[in-house]
Amino acid sequence: MTTVVVKFLMVDTGRTYPFDATAEPGYVYHCHILDHEDNAMIRPLKLIK
């Protein structure tokens, strides 16, 4: 199991957050060892809410 922790700002605070986590084209989670890319250790991640 993989757990990803992302800080979100509550919608009803009226404050802004420096990025939109649901913006296209999305993000990737990855390992910083380039050879791991071929072993599926870099994958797309799309937040929808």
pLDDT tens profile 13-48: 777 767 776 777 777 777 777 777 777 777 777 777
* pTM of model > 0.75: no
**Residue with token string 């990855």:** 30
Give the DSSP per-residue string, 1-49: ----------GGG----SS-TT-TT-EEEE-S-GGGGGGT-EEEE----
